Copies of this chain bind each other. A is one copy, B any other.
Amino acid sequence: MTPSSSSTMTGGIATARGFQAAGISAGIKATGKPDIALVVSDTPAAAAAMFTLNKVQAAPVLVSKEHLAKSGGVVRAIVINSGCANACTGDTGLADARTMAAETAKLVGCPTEHVLVASTGVIGVNLPMDKLKNGIPEAFAALSGANGSRAAQAIMTTDPFPKESCVTLIAGGKTITIGGMAKGSGMIGPDMAPSATMLAFVTTDAAVPQALLQRALVEVVDETFNAISVDGDTSTNDAVVLLANGASGATIGEADYPQFMKALHDVCLELALGIVRGGEGATKLVKVTVSGAVSVGEARTTAKAIATSLLVKTAIHGGDPNWGRLLAVAGRAGVAFDPSRAKVTIGPTVLFADGRPYDDRAPEAAAYLKGRDVVVGVDLGAGDKTSAVWTCDLSAEYVKINAEYRT
């Protein structure tokens, strides 16, 4: 590690200089748990963002995209509610998302298009706007550089714990902070950019030109939020937003870009893996690596097929070193390879190679699968490209959570 490398620290969305956050309970959730989060930059920040590619896009996604287009990528605040997704809610939903932004803009003292909106929760129900109209000023009053964790709690739905991450790095002799928060537990699938009922917000006090910021976000999301899966499903409300307000006095240019990228990657990967660890009913974090592929795309396709296979996820849940399921899923992933050259590993143990099983090693692999973090791998024996994705096991608890989510 060079002295300029990044280092991890405790912190989150409001740790970078010039950012404040709040999380309060407005009564949108019947449980009374926190359900409105607010993030404000003291000065206009450059913003990069990625939204769900689902054809069905929630009102807050449509409004946020509209605002970014209008502002040219300048953001002062993000207002987020949990407990209601404001998706499939028609014209009323659109008007409600606009009102959320307008109410926030009024308090912050900025143009409405400098406010982004995000929502997460049940689809097809209109927002309780009276609660939001009371809650937003309450959140504004609670804004503080020390309230990042409260914001991280307020964006949770079925998440078992909040997700926060923070790193610092030195660039141009100045300390830069990158911190963030994320939520997501179910409806997390890797076939979008970004994917899942996943909300992730990252702030930095570096100054980064907007085009460079967007490039950084796209690259990092591909290897982090886009490389995770809980249930292979994807949402109408996904959003990842990265704000850079320059309060540190340091500017990231091409020279510092690799170092900035590494730090941003660290923050986003920690948030993404937090989502998987907290996946609905999850008891294990599973890294799926596919190597020996002709292209990174084919490696990724195969890894995703394995990471979303119910048979693989239930076998790992049961601690069963069922390498045959890994190979069978690779075989139906639509990627060409010769099974007799393929290799299947569970942890450090090779269970299939040279066209034949090594079943005497199954007890060793079964012992390994008792761990909480496990790695399974398929080498296709067809090339030299690799990809990794992360998923969790599938438990009876997952079914329970999702069969009872609304009722």
Q: Please report A residues at the B interface, Cβ cutoff 8 Å.
A: 53-57, 85, 87-92, 122-125, 186-187, 189, 191-192, 231-236, 309-311, 314-315, 317-320, 322-325, 327-332, 335-337, 339-340, 342, 351-352, 354-357, 359, 366, 394-396, 398-400, 402-407
Q: Could you list 30 A-B pairs, sorted by A, with CB under 8 Å?
A: A54-B331, A54-B332, A55-B335, A56-B339, A57-B331, A87-B324, A88-B324, A88-B355, A88-B357, A89-B357, A123-B327, A123-B328, A124-B323, A124-B351, A187-B328, A192-B332, A231-B310, A233-B311, A233-B325, A233-B329, A233-B332, A310-B402, A314-B398, A314-B402, A315-B402, A318-B402, A318-B403, A318-B405, A320-B407, A366-B407
Does the CB pair B402–A328 fall under 8 Å?
Answer: no
Chain B residues near A332 (CB, 8 Å)? 53-55, 189, 191-192, 233-234
Does the CB pair B90–A356 fall under 8 Å?
Answer: yes
On whether A352 and B403 interact (CB within 8 A), knowing A55-B337, A324-B87, the answer reads no
Chain B residues near A123 (CB, 8 Å)? 322, 324-325, 327-328
Chain B residues near A91 (CB, 8 Å)? 355-356
Chain B residues near A324 (CB, 8 Å)? 85, 87-88, 122-124, 236
Looking across the interface, which residue of chain B has its beta carbon closest to that of A53?
B332
Looking across the interface, which residue of chain B has its beta carbon closest to that of A123?
B324
In the complex, A87→B340 CA distance in Å?
12
Does the CB pair A318–B355 fall under 8 Å?
Answer: no
Does the CB pair A352–B124 fall under 8 Å?
Answer: yes
Does the CB pair A406–B322 fall under 8 Å?
Answer: yes
Does the CB pair A359–B124 fall under 8 Å?
Answer: yes
Most buried by B among A122, A236, A340: A236
Does the CB pair B125–A317 fall under 8 Å?
Answer: no
Which of B310, B314, B403 interacts with A232 by CB under 8 Å?
B310
Chain B residues near A192 (CB, 8 Å)? 332
A45 to chain B, nearest CB (A): 30
Does the CB pair A90–B402 fall under 8 Å?
Answer: no
On whether A56 and B407 interact (CB within 8 A), knowing A187-B311, A325-B123, the answer reads no
A387 to chain B, nearest CB (A): 18
Chain B residues near A57 (CB, 8 Å)? 331, 339
Chain B residues near A339 (CB, 8 Å)? 55-57, 88
Chain B residues near A399 (CB, 8 Å)? 314, 317, 394-396, 398-399
Does the CB pair A56–B187 fall under 8 Å?
Answer: no
